[in-house]
Amino acid sequence: MNKNPNSLYRQILTGKAVFMSFLIAATFSSCSKNNEEITTEAQTNALSTDNVKKGKFGGQDITYERKNGMNFFQGDIVLTDKQLLEGSELNKGGASYSRWPNGKIYYTIASNMGSINVNKINSAISEYNNKTNTQWIYRSNQSNYVEFIFGSSSGSDGWAHIGYQGGKQTVSLDQYISVGSVIHEMGHTVGLYHEHTRKDRDQYVKILWNNIQNGQAYNFNIYNSGTDIGPFNINSVMMYWPTSYSKNGLPTITRADNSNFTYNRTGFTTGDINTINAMYP
């Protein structure tokens, strides 16, 4: 999932969701495990209908996948059981719950990550620290922090918890994930949802429902509980790939005029940066 430079991105924060037109488009539970050149990060293997659950998030009814003891929303966003509790204070949109205090995000890296992925993480962190108002700081003894963990040794995807939760939370990265996709997953951590779930998305893109894998259509639902920041950004680093969850190799998302768009996973666009900075002034 990717985005475009001079447009704002849509981010959604846990609780008081904030969407941005460019940021972070992830996937359910380690996205696709395939090369990004041919599949989207949001592409997953066929799932058992027994794992598909109904819940409430941000005050909205949602569908998610329960897998490996975790709740995957929109492919690569992990929601805690607490976040899914209907009637919870979290569903009332408290921004303080979703955003990292003072924009400071403390992190650590699992010892088995490997030097190549550590370099990717460092590159992504430099992008955040140099271009946005958030600051990723290596953890000393802070109790609220993110741990980068190693996912699949053969995949190219990742997943992350959404927004600030308190305590330890996680970003999972596969062996062959790109720096742009690391930025994407970190975008979920700062509170961004996927661009294609903005409330105004139908003005800009078309969802080709007949091309979507059986049981995966819910990943393309609009998330009404989020706040859209700036204009829709089809080139956002948070945008789904054009063939995300395709059952036949044909596009599942096109522009509203039926033309194709190019997947962006090279880094931030101006819109992405503006969105994050609006969230963290």
Residues in binding site: 184, 188, 194
**Is 185 among the residues known to form the active site?**
yes
Which residues sit in the known binding site for Zn(2+)?
A: 184, 188, 194
Reduced 3-state DSSP string for the chain: CCCCCCCCCECCCCCCCEEECCCCCCCCCCCCCCCCCCCCCCCCCCCCHHHEEEEEECCEEEEEEEECCEEEECCCEEECCCCCCCCCHHHHCCHHHHCCHHHEEEEEECCCCCHHHHHHHHHHHHHHHHHCCCEEEECCCCCCEEEEEECCCCCCCEEEECCCCCCEEEEEECCCCCHHHHHHHHHHHHCCCCHHHCCCHHHCEEECHHHECCCCHHHHCCCCCCEEECCCCCCCCCCCCCCCCECCCCCCEEECCCCCCCCCCCCCCHHHHHHHHHHCC
Which of the residues 36, 41, 127, 185 is marked catalytic? 185
> How does 134-146 read in b/e, with b if 16+ C-beta sit within 10 Å?
bebeebeeeebbb
Q: Could you give the CA distance from residue 13 to residue 164 in angstroms, rounded to a whole number?
A: 8
Residues assigned a catalytic role:
185
